[in-house]
Amino acid sequence: MSSVARVREAFARIADVDRPEIWISLHPEEHVLAEAARVDARVTDGELLPLAGLVAAVKDNIDVAGLPTTAGAASYIRHPDADATAVARLRAAGAVVLGKTNLDQFATGLVGTRSPYGAVRNAWDPTRISGGSSSGSAVAVALGLVDVALGTDTAGSGRVPAALNAIVGVKPTKGLVPTTGVVPACRTLDCVTVFARDLGLARRTVELLSGPDGLDPLTRDDRPRPAATTTLPIAVPTAEHLTGLADGWAAAFDAVVERLRADGVVVLEVDIEPLLEAATLLYGGAFVAERTAAVGDHIAAHPDLVGSDLDPSVVQIVLGGAESKAADYFRDRERLDHLGMLARTALTGTAALLTPTTTWHPTLAEVAADPIGANSRMGRFTNFANLLDMSSLAVPAGTVDGLPFGVMLTGAAFDDRLLAQLAEQVMAPSVELLVVGAHLAGQPLNHQLVAAGGSLVRAVRTASTYRLYALDTVPAKPGLARVAEAGACVEGEIWRLPATGFARFVAALPAPMAIGQVRLEDGGTVTGFVCEPVALVGARDITAYGGWRAYRASMADSAS
């Protein structure tokens, strides 16, 4: 798909889903189309742009030239003249940036509700949290508004929202991606992260963003070690450290572990108490003073804005660090060094640590009732990674009671490529499904796909051997039929669903709809909606419209 076509599709999708809380600012569509046209021209001229044809979103604590940076607080607004290094590299690879996404203010939180721009609702269940702090970026990807999005991760902000929205979240080793142009949360711990629906795209994007820029003094010149087939065991926590998970989550995690064992992977239980104790130091020790150093002066200068522009929970956390003394920091640093040594000893001889990404998926109301306590439960398995200089990534691993369940692989610094290789074995199987009617993005039944964990992959057309008919159903829907002659291409979309979600979706499919194999214009085949022949008798042939959306638009025009 051309960049121009993808941009038009993205803006139509943004209008269809009507989730304004995802965005803090958007480029005008005309501006983005002009940039997309330039990308298409470069591709036509033979330039190799690995992300051409893709659209992106950027968390609003990362600079994008031409858009304000707020970090989730209008009072903190700045107007950058240049892109952050990560954004500049993203655009240089051909991705087109649509806008800036909502976040837990000053990247302080794992819930996605700490923003004066509104709580970002979960992509699957709008009564539940999206996870934070990179909430808008994760939900924009999960709902198919963008293909890839940038976030940041200090305590788990690039992994928790991935898990709660059934997408991939990659937190590279500290320093691999420069943080030039990023509003700091904890400057020495912050990482720029990548969200995508596809692991390969997420990892490819991280590779494109990596490398020193000569501006960020914390950027590291080391490159990730090449992935190599390993027979080392995967470590998992002992049972005592998996207590307190949401109902059904322990069983879901056990199912992932058993699937690995069935595939011949050796799984080794490890005491991760040193890691969990290290995690408590991020907010419960002197390290929080680095947040005070980053934005504490701004918060202290605006006490009148607390409760309006400045989130009370964020204010409490950030200003709390002012109580720490230098001696407290060095005591905590010594304690962390000791815990790191114990953790490395415990994990010696294993390839990586596999855990649930987080511990539960609260509702918006549950977080509102206990904003600090609810948030603190989210980071049990994520908070230690950056403190101990570890690489990590989160991937979907199925559903529990109709909501996403995700797991996380955490390894040594610069083991990023190894983690991606291991994640391929861990991820729950998925199914790609072609839809051509009422389940298309923006159509009345699309919510069923989203509820089943579906994410939009791309727009496609069938081979020229099909005809489309308008069925007499409520809500209105079409029937697709393969014909021996006089066929035509029909527009549709491919959605990816976790296998469990697909099974649930198909089980509820009403007659006369059925699932079969559909050939595409590019010669491939995909599982898709077809129709029982008996339902086509007397149905109106609408093939000439090219697709369901065009037919419905013509009907709306006729009615008006």
Selection from 178, 212, 169 nearest residue 419 by Cα = 169
For the chain, what is the largest distance between any 2 Cα atoms, rounded to a whole number of angstroms? 83
Q: Pseudo-torsion of CA 222, 379, 295, 21, nearest 10°?
A: 110
Note the Cα 86 to chain centre separation in Å: 17
The end-to-end CA distance of the chain, in Å, is: 33
CA atoms within 13 A on the CB side of 250: 11
Angle, in degrees to the nearest 10, between helices 326-347 and 273-284: 160
CB 520 within 8 Å of CB 426: no
The kind and range of the H/E element at 201 are helix 199-209
Give the Å distances, CA to CA, from 449 to 129, 442, 541.
19, 11, 26
| C-alpha span between 164 and 123 (Å, rounded) | 8
Q: How many CB atoms lie within 10 A of CB 522?
A: 8
Residue 181: closest CA among 50, 89, 315: 89
Neighbours of 257 (CB within 10 A): 17
CB contact at 8 A, 136 and 57: yes
Catalytic residue numbers read 59, 133, 157
User: Which amino acid type is present at position 27?
Assistant: H
Nearest to 156 by CA among 1, 378, 304: 378
Instruction: Name the residue with tokens 């950030």.
Output: 318
d(CA 492, CA 446): 13
Nearest to 171 by CA among 195, 144, 193: 193
For 307, which DSSP code? Answer: T
- What are the start-end ranges of the H helices in 18-109? 29-44, 85-92
State whether residue 354 is helix, strand or coil: strand
